[in-house]
Every structure is written in structure tokens, then in C-alpha cells.
């Protein structure tokens, strides 16, 4: 059995609307309008133990709501889910003891006390043995390089250090399933890289399952083999990251570095010109034709160098994010 | 001057809209204050069912005092309290710079920016209560007394303001100032009691050194008991002096603020 | 007990945190003497006005002023002022999340945190309180029956628990209503009157007093204060103790009911 199984999970919310202006504000005292928002619509997915999966989606897409249901924080309107064999929203202690959550925008640590106190508290709450605690925390602080900061008050730590301790606090009970919600938000580039590498190593060594949500593409591309794109409450894509390009993007960018003068007219029959700045010419070429076209260009023209690029993955994903409605999308598939 | 009044009108209207946006809050806030008032009235009723007067204050004289204290408190809370309360946060976050860069007297701006209308209707309740007590006392209306009352009423609000404002200005020097608001309410309790319940030493202290008695006792006395002319002028003098003091505190505080944030 | 071991750590951390606020607690203890002082002054004036018929509601002057002193003392440990706001705020802002994902029961966690905090508070207000007692010693009736004092200390925790359960239930409203702060103030006013914190319930007409004593509120102020003043005979004391136990069970079940129902509606704002 897969470690996470989700079957047609749905969640609806009531959203109250406010109209502008003084008169409407007054009316609003007595009668409030609301609409039903279907945040999550029949999502189904399966995740195996040890996977590191990225959840992607614009704000309000339903990915956070899905994660909340899989954490047991809220109840679904319909559907079923099992994580490690438990139903998350029953919030069994055994489930919670094997589960960890890191929230980038919130901290779980006690602000005015040394970081070690928060860790000790988690140790007791999760019933980690003394020996296990020493070993695990010892490892983690060394790996993340915050050993010296154990006694520092959390309010005096830098953002990066705080995030590292948040990670340690969430991992010290060696959970089998961990959700990381925006773990690198607001951090400097170096800290982001450190945390990314740490997560990748940890996953490789311990084989636990991670679900990661992030708005930083670098996080996703560095860590996740598999991504699930959620928009308008539905799964738009579930598969390998690199396959997104193949599936959603039909063209490539070819850059020519010309040895001799080449005119527009010479190029035009072959492909669409994106930019023409001798000695550099950029062309937009359909995926399927690309290899043969490049071959021909190299044969016919005097070209010093030829580069083939794919459009950046953010762009592709961005177009998936900004699609307007279900029907239009269904039609395009 | 007109400019300040117009500015004030804008602040007022915006806050009115905002308050109404929180549907339940508006209605319940109104009810809350009435309940607080009712609590005082229940207490008043129980006490006065056992005695005829306390410290020389008969039942309706004391009721008048309650009404006046309520009206002054609510007026202060509606117009000025919220702003004083926000001051410590403005200082802490540096948002105060925003106010200082405007071509308007910064103390005015900081003190009047927001209006909290949840308690506004309650001012009239307080005045209504005082009016009811007044009626029961069947005293003749003296235009001179009424005028003095209005002046002393505003004077009381000013003293309240100076107290709260000074407490909040401590935020210029003390970082953790959250309990200042609680202290304010507990200190003003001293003002809301008839001065005659205190023993002599305390009464002198509260009249001359920490003039809480001036806020509410003076306007109440002018209407339902007696207040001499020298006392009246003393009261105004105290109000104006304290107002001036607040501008000094503000200036000192600002100096400390500018040197800290640069 | 093995199950409760983690909560020992919660208490430890909570106390460490509370220690940071020691100055605040001390100052609040000091400023808190003002209302006590005003109360004493008021009753002094009232009893002067009463002249020849001294006792009110069965209380002599010093008993009356001591009534309020005792309540203030007891409340240093048992008061749950602003707990309902705090819980409601946690619900509204999604702060509850970090407790829901851990193998811990939030209501119990919050209780342990509260009591730990209160214990430290008692430590740091003791100095201002001793000052207050010394200043007001002429107005104080010191309890003469040590058995009453023992019963009081035994009842401190149950009283605090009742107060906590009531505040917890009120806080649960946040699951259903959006803007609740004003409603909470209404509850505070009601609790002040019904518990006897505003004035002894014996000052009210008999039928009213009896009716109010059917509710649990009196157990947090009126009962312990009149116990120390020696106003209760053995049977009454026993009756109140049993009533406290019964109310704890009722309130606990109600709180649990609200908590479970509330969580079904929870939207975990801002993960």
C-alpha cells in the first residue's frame, strides 16, 4: 500500500462578500451575502514511501487546502485519504507521532527562550528517547551547522538559523512523512541552498516521504523528481518534472552564432525568427522538427555555433497556472 | 484650523465605514458598553439600597457622577484612545516616520488619526443617564453652571488624554509597554469615585499632585453639588498645564526617537 | 503517569517563559492595589454612612473589605482573564495548527501552560500584595479557623479549573463567529456579577442569591471568600465542594463537546 493514498478528495468553503461604500456597509449589518468556493475538487493521487514530491500551484489553487486535509487540520467535504494507513483528520496520536510539518511562514519555536528548549519540548511531546534525541539532534545541528546556536534565544536568531531549527524541531522524531510548506521563503541564497541540500540528503539517507510546496522554482527543480500541479482545485499535472516540458511545450529556442553574414530571407523559409542581431540569430522551432532543422542549417549556412534551449520551466508552469477555465484546458489537451 | 477640521471629517467617515464592515462587532460593541454601564448601575443600586448617601453624595448625585464619568470615558475612548494605544506600535515599527513627515502638527495627527465609533452611541447614554439623575434632583438649570460644566467636561477629557498619552510615550524609552493600557484604566478608576470617600491625605494628593479628582468630580460637582469659582479656574488651569506638559513630553520623546532610528 | 510526562515539560517551558515577564507581573501587582484600595475606601465610606446598623449582608466592615482582598488573592492563581481571547485568537489565526499536528491535546496543553504561568505570577506579585496587606491592615479580618484555610488551599486548583473551563468554552465561540471580542466583554461583566466578585451575593435579595448560586460562577469568588470569612458551616462547605466537583464534570463534558464540534468547522487559516 502506498504511504499516501488520496481518493476524490473535495473541500468546499463559504466565502462572505463585502460590497464597497457606506450604504452597502450599513446593509451588510443585517444581511450578508456568501458564495460557495470549491477549493478542492475530487483530487486523487498516490505517493509511495520515500518519494520527494513537489506541489505546485498559484495561490488559492487548492494545494494548501489539500495539504491541510492531509495533515489532519481540516475535514474534507467528500472523498477519502490515507496517510501511513491512518485517516489524517482523525488525528490519532500514532499518526501525529510519525508526521512532521514545517511551515515557512509560521514558527513553532518559543520566541523568548533558547532554541534547545523548544527542541526538548518536542522531544517530550513525541516521546523520543534520551539516546535517540542526543543522536538525532546531534546529527541535525551538525549537518545544518547550527550547533553553536542551540543556546541562543530564538528571537535573536537570523531568519536562516530559525528555519534550520524549525526543520530540526520537525525532524527530531524521525517522522515517516513530512510536509514542507515554503521552507525557504525569505531566506538568502546561501541558506536556501543549504536547506535544499540538507533535505535532499536527508531524504536519500532516511528514505522518508516529503511533500514540498514552494514558490521558488529552484527548490522544486533541485529536489523533486515528481511534481503535482494543482489549479482551480484540480490536479493539472502529475508526473516527472522534466516531462512537463515535453508535454506542455511544443517548441524550442535555437540560437545561431553565424560565421558569415546571413540575411533574414535566407533564414525565413526554415523557421520563425525571434530576434535578429548579427552575428546572433534566435529562432523558434517546433519540437519535432528541431533535430532535422538544425542539421539542415548547419549544412547550408556557415554557422560557428548552434545552441538549443527549452523555454524556462517557470514560463511553462506559469502558463499552466494562468489558464482561465476548466473547459478551455480540457479542450487543449 | 479649518484644514484640521476637514481632515478630521475624512478620518471619521473612513472609520465609520470600517466599523460597519464588521457587522456583529458594531451591534455587539454597542451592547457591550451598555452591559458595562449596567454592571455599574447594578452595583450602584445594591449599595444605595443600604445607605442614603455615601461621603455626602446622595443616590442621584452619585448617579449623575456615574453618567458623567461614563460620558467622558466614552468620548475619550472614541476619539483619542485608539490613537494613543497605537502609538507604542508606531514607535516600535518606525511607522511614526510616516506621521512626522507630514506638514501637520505630529502630535495632533498621531492623536486623532482614528476614531473608534463602537462606543460613540454610548456617550449619549452617559449623558442621558446624567440627565435622568439631574431630572430626579429637580435642580434649576443655571446657564452659567451649564457652561462651566461643558468646559470642565472637555477639561476632563483632556486630562484623560494627557495621562494616556504620557503613558504611551514611555514607549520611546521602554520597549515592552503593553501593560500601559491596563495601568491607564486602573489609574482612572481613582477619578471615577466621589472624592469624599478618600481620606484627607489621599484627597489632597489626588487634587493637587495627581489631579484625577479634577476630571470627573469637578464637572459633576458644578451641576449637582457645588463648585466654587476659584475651583473652576483651578480645574481649567490644571487641564491647560497638563496639555502643555504633554507637548513637552512629545518633544522629548521625538528627540529620543530620531536619535535612535537614524 | 506515563501519559502526562510530556506535559511536565510543557509546564517547565511555560514557567521559563513566564519568568521573563517578572517585571510586568510585579508592576501589575502594584497597580492592581489601586482598585483594591478604592474598594476599601468605598466600603469604609459606606459603613460610616450606615452608622448604627453596621453589618451589611451579614458582613461587618472589616469582613467586607477582607472579602475583596481575599478574592484578589485567590484570583492571582485562579484568574483566567484574557484566556478566552487568547484561545479565540489562536483559532481565528490558525495558531491552533501547530498543536493539532502534534500528538498533544490542545485543551490540556493550554491548561498546563496557564497554571504554570499563574504559579510564576503568584511568586512575583507576592511582594506588592504583602505591601498592600500591611498598608490596609486596619481594615482586614484575618481568618481565625485554620481548617478553613486548608480547605481553601485544597480548593485552589479546582476553582482555577472551573474558571479555565468556563473561559475555554467561551473561547470556542470563535469556531462559529467571526468578530467576537465585544461578546467576550459582555461575558466578563456577567461573570463579575454572578461570581460575587463585584459584591457579595448575600447583598442581593434572598431568592436572587439562591438562583445565582445554582450556577458555577459563585464557586470562583463568593464561595472561597465567604469560606475564609467563616460564613459557611460544615454542611455548606461540603455542599460547595461537591458542587464544584459536579460542575467540573459538567463543564468538562461541555467543553469537550464544543471542542470536537468546533474542529469540524475549523478552516486552519494561514497554515
Q: Where are the domains of chain B?
A: 2-261
Beta-carbon contacts of residue A209 (< 8 Å; ≥ 6 apart): A3, A4, A47, A48, A49, A50, A51, A52, A53, A176, A177, A178
Rounded distance between C-alpha atoms, residue A62 and residue A67, angstroms: 9
User: pLDDT, tens digit, for every residue of A42-63?
Assistant: 999 999 999 999 998 888 788 8
Whether pLDDT at A326 is above 60: no
Q: How confident is the model at residue A40 (pLDDT cuts 50, 70, 90)?
A: very high
Choose from B45-59, B100-114, C106-120 the range with maximum mean pLDDT.
Answer: C106-120
Confidence at residue B22, expressed as pLDDT on a 0 to 100 scale: 54
Residue with cell 506535559: C7
Whether pLDDT at A327 is above 50: no
User: Hey, are the CB atoms on B17 and A22 less than 8 Å from each other?
Assistant: yes
Q: Of A121-130, A318-327, B173-182, C214-223, where does mean pLDDT reach its minimum? A: A318-327
Closest residue, chain B, to A32 (C-alpha): B23
Whether pLDDT at B230 is above 80: yes
Taking each helix axis from N to C end, the angle separating C106-135 and C61-78, rounded to the nearest 10 degrees, works out to 150
Confidence at residue A328, expressed as pLDDT on a 0 to 100 scale: 47
Whether pLDDT at A95 is above 70: yes
Confidence at residue C217, expressed as pLDDT on a 0 to 100 scale: 96
Closest residue, chain B, to C42 (C-alpha): B197
Q: Are strands A226-231 and A234-240 parallel, antiparallel or unpaired?
A: antiparallel
Residue with cell 506541489: A55
Q: Of A154-168, A206-220, B86-100, B156-170, where does mean pLDDT reach its minimum? A: B86-100
For chain C, domain boundaries: 2-265
Of A68, A113, A126, the CB nearest to C17: A113
Q: For the sheet containing A4-17, what is the strand order?
A: A33-47, A4-17, A78-83
User: CB contact, 8 Å: C22 with chain A?
Assistant: no
Q: How confident is the model at residue B113 (pLDDT cuts 50, 70, 90)?
A: confident
Q: Which residues pair with A229 in a beta bridge?
A: A56, A237
> Cell digits for A314?
517557470
Confidence at residue C178, expressed as pLDDT on a 0 to 100 scale: 74
Rounded distance between C-alpha atoms, residue C110 and residue C101, angstroms: 15
Q: Which residue has the higher pLDDT, B224 or A302?
A: B224
Provide the b/e sequence for A85-99 (b: ≥16 CB within 10 Å): ebebbebeeebbbbb
| Residue A327 backbone phi and psi in degrees, to 5 | -65, -45
Residue with cell 468546499: A12
Residue A18 Cα, gap to closest chain C Cα (Å) = 14
Q: How confident is the model at residue A332 (pLDDT cuts 50, 70, 90)?
A: low
Question: C-alpha dihedral over C198, C199, C204, C207, to 10 degrees?
Answer: 70
Its ipTM equals 0.85
**Mean pLDDT calculated for residue range B172-186:** 82
User: What would you measure as the largest C-alpha separation in chain C, in angstroms?
Assistant: 66
User: Hey, are the CB atoms on C266 and A74 less than 8 Å from each other?
Assistant: yes
Task: Write down all domains in chain A, each with its CATH number in brackets.
Answer: 4-245 (3.40.50.300), 250-309 (3.30.70.980)
Beta-carbon contacts of residue C191 (< 8 Å; ≥ 6 apart): C166, C197, C217
Q: What angle do CA C72, C74, C75 make, to 5 degrees?
A: 65
Closest among C64, C83, C87, C86 to C75, alpha carbons compared: C83
Rounded distance between C-alpha atoms, residue A201 and residue A143, angstroms: 10
**Mean pLDDT calculated for residue range A180-193:** 87
User: Hey, are the CB atoms on A25 and B17 less than 8 Å from each other?
Assistant: yes
> Cell digits for B54?
455615601
Question: C-alpha dihedral over B244, B246, B247, B248, to 10 degrees?
Answer: 90
Q: Which residue has the higher pLDDT, B102 or C172?
A: C172
Q: How confident is the model at residue A37 (pLDDT cuts 50, 70, 90)?
A: confident
Strand (E) or helix (H) holding B155: helix B143-169
User: Hey, are the CB atoms on B43 and C50 less than 8 Å from each other?
Assistant: no
Beta-carbon contacts of residue B105 (< 8 Å; ≥ 6 apart): none
Residue with cell 517548441: A251
User: pLDDT, tens digit, for every residue of B135-156?
Assistant: 999 888 888 889 999 999 999 9
C252 three-class SS: helix
Query: Could you state, in chain order, the average pLDDT of each consecutive group of 10 residues for chain C (271 residues)?
Result: 84 95 91 92 90 81 92 94 92 90 94 96 94 90 90 96 97 85 84 93 92 95 95 93 97 97 85 53
User: Hey, are the CB atoms on A112 and C97 less than 8 Å from each other?
Assistant: no
With beta carbons under 8 A apart, name residues in chain B contacting C193: 39, 42
CB pairs under 8 A between A and C: 77
Whether pLDDT at B123 is above 50: yes
CB atoms within 10 A of CB A69: 26
User: Hey, are the CB atoms on A125 and C6 less than 8 Å from each other?
Assistant: yes
User: CB contact, 8 Å: B40 with chain C?
Assistant: no
User: Hey, are the CB atoms on A22 and B21 less than 8 Å from each other?
Assistant: no
Which A positions 11-30 lie with beta carbon below 8 A of chain B? 18, 21-22, 25-26, 28-30
Interface of B with A (CB under 8 A): 13, 16-17, 20-21, 23, 26-27
Amino acid at each position: 500500500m502506498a504511504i499516501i493514498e488520496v481518493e476524490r478528495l473535495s473541500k468546499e468553503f463559504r466565502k462572505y462578500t463585502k460590497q464597497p461604500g457606506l450604504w452597502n456597509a450599513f446593509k451588510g449589518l443585517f444581511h450578508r451575502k456568501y458564495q460557495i468556493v470549491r477549493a478542492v475538487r475530487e483530487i486523487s493521487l498516490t505517493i509511495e514511501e520515500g518519494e520527494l514530491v513537489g506541489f505546485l500551484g498559484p495561490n488559492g489553487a487548492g494545494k494548501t487546502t489539500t495539504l491541510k486535509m492531509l495533515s489532519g487540520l481540516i475535514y474534507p467535504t467528500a472523498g477519502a485519504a490515507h496517510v501511513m494507513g491512518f485517516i489524517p483528520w482523525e488525528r490519532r496520536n500514532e499518526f501525529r507521532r510519525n508526521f512532521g510539518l514545517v511551515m515557512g511562514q509560521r514558527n513553532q519555536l518559543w520566541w523568548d527562550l533558547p532554541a534547545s528548549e523548544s527542541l526538548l519540548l518536542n522531544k517530550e511531546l513525541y516521546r523520543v528517547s534520551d539516546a535517540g534525541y542526543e543522536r538525532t539532534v546531534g546529527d541535525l545541528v551538525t549537518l545544518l551547522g547550527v550547533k553553536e546556536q542551540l543556546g541562543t534565544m530564538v528571537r535573536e536568531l537570523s531568519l536562516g538559523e530559525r528555519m534550520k531549527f524549525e526543520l530540526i524541531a520537525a525532524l527530531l522524531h524521525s517522522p515517516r512523512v513530512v510536509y514542507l510548506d515554503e521552507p525557504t521563503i525569505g531566506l538568502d541564497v546561501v541558506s536556501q541552498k543549504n536547506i535544499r541540500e540538507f533535505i535532499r540528503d536527508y531524504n536519500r539517507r532516511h528514505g522518508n516521504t516529503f511533500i514540498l510546496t514552494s514558490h521558488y522554482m529552484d527548490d522544486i527543480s533541485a529536489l523533486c523528481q515528481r511534481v503535482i500541479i494543482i489549479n482551480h482545485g484540480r490536479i493539472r499535472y502529475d508526473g516527472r518534472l522534466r516531462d512537463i516540458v515535453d508535454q506542455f511545450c511544443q517548441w524550442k529556442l535555437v540560437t545561431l552564432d553565424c560565421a558569415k553574414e546571413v540575411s533574414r530571407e535566407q533564414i525565413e523559409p526554415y523557421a520563425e525568427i525571434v530576434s535578429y542581431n548579427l552575428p546572433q540569430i534566435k529562432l523558434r522551432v517546433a519540437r519535432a522538427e528541431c533535430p532535422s532543422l538544425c542539421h539542415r542549417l548547419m549544412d547550408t549556412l556557415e554557422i560557428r555555433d548552434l545552441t538549443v534551449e527549452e523555454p524556462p520551466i517557470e514560463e511553462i508552469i506559469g502558463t499552466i497556472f494562468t489558464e482561465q477555465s476548466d473547459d478551455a484546458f480540457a479542450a487543449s489537451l | 484650523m479649518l484644514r484640521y477640521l476637514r481632515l478630521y471629517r475624512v478620518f471619521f467617515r473612513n472609520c465609520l465605514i470600517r466599523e460597519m464592515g464588521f457587522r456583529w462587532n458594531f451591534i455587539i460593541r454597542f451592547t457591550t458598553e451598555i452591559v458595562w454601564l449596567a454592571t455599574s448601575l447594578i452595583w450602584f443600586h445594591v449599595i444605595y439600597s443600604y445607605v442614603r448617601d455615601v461621603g455626602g453624595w446622595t443616590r442621584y448625585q452619585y448617579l449623575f457622577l456615574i453618567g458623567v464619568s461614563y460620558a467622558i470615558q466614552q468620548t475619550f475612548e472614541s476619539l483619542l484612545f485608539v490613537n494613543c494605544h497605537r502609538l507604542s506600535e508606531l514607535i516600535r515599527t518606525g511607522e511614526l516616520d510616516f506621521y512626522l513627515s507630514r506638514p501637520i502638527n505630529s502630535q495632533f495627527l498621531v492623536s486623532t488619526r482614528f476614531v473608534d465609533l463602537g462606543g460613540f452611541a454610548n456617550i449619549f447614554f452617559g449623558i442621558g443617564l446624567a440627565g435622568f439623575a439631574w431630572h430626579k434632583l429637580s435642580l434649576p438649570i443655571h446657564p452659567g453652571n451649564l457652561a462651566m460644566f461643558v468646559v470642565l467636561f472637555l477639561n476632563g477629557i483632556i486630562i484623560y488624554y494627557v495621562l494616556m498619552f504620557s503613558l504611551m510615550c514611555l514607549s520611546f524609552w521602554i520597549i515592552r509597554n503593553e501593560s500601559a493600557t491596563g495601568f491607564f484604566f486602573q489609574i482612572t478608576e481613582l477619578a471615577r469615585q466621589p472624592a469624599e470617600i478618600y481620606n484627607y491625605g489621599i484627597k489632597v494628593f489626588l487634587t493637587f499632585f495627581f489631579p484625577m479628582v479634577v476630571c470627573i468630580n469637578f464637572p459633576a460637582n458644578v451641576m449637582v453639588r457645588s463648585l466654587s469659582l476659584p475651583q473652576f479656574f483651578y480645574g481649567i488651569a490644571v487641564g491647560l498645564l497638563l496639555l502643555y506638559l504633554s507637548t513637552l513630553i512629545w518633544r522629548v520623546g521625538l528627540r529620543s526617537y530620531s536619535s535612535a532610528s537614524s | 503517569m506515563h501519559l502526562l510526562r510530556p506535559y511536565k515539560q510543557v509546564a517547565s517551558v511555560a514557567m521559563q517563559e513566564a519568568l521573563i515577564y517578572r517585571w510586568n507581573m510585579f508592576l501589575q501587582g502594584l497597580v492592581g492595589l489601586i482598585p483594591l484600595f478604592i474598594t476599601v475606601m468605598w466600603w469604609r465610606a459606606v459603613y460610616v454612612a450606615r452608622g448604627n446598623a453596621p453589618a451589611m449582608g451579614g458582613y461587618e466592615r472589616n469582613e467586607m473589605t477582607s472579602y475583596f482582598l481575599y478574592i484578589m488573592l485567590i484570583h492571582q492563581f485562579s484568574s483566567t482573564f484574557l484566556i478566552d481571547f487568547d484561545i479565540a485568537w489562536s483559532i481565528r489565526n490558525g495558531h491552533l495548527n501547530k498543536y493539532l499536528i502534534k500528538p498533544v491535546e490542545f485543551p490540556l496543553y493550554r491548561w498546563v501552560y496557564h497554571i504554570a504561568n499563574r504559579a510564576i505570577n503568584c511568586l512575583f506579585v507576592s511582594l506588592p500584595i504583602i505591601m498592600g496587606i500591611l498598608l490596609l491592615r486596619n481594615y482586614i479580618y484575618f481568618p481565625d479557623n485554620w481548617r478553613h484555610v486548608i480547605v481553601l488551599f485544597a480548593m485552589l486548583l479546582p476553582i482555577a479549573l472551573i474558571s479555565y473551563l468556563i473561559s475555554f468554552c467561551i473561547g470556542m465561540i470563535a469556531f462559529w463567529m467571526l468578530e467576537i471580542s465585544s461578546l467576550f466583554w459582555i461575558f466578563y461583566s456577567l461573570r463579575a456579577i454572578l461570581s460575587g466578585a463585584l459584591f457579595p451575593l448575600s447583598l442581593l435579595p434572598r431568592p436572587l442569591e439562591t438562583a445565582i448560586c445554582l450556577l458555577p460562577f459563585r464557586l470562583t469568588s463568593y464561595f472561597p471568600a465567604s469560606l475564609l470569612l467563616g460564613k459557611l458551616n460544615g454542611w455548606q462547605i461540603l455542599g460547595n465542594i461537591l458542587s464544584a466537583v459536579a460542575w467540573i464534570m459538567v463543564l468538562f463534558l461541555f467543553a469537550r463537546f464544543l471542542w470536537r464540534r468546533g474542529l469540524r468547522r475549523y478552516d486552519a487559516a494561514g497554515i
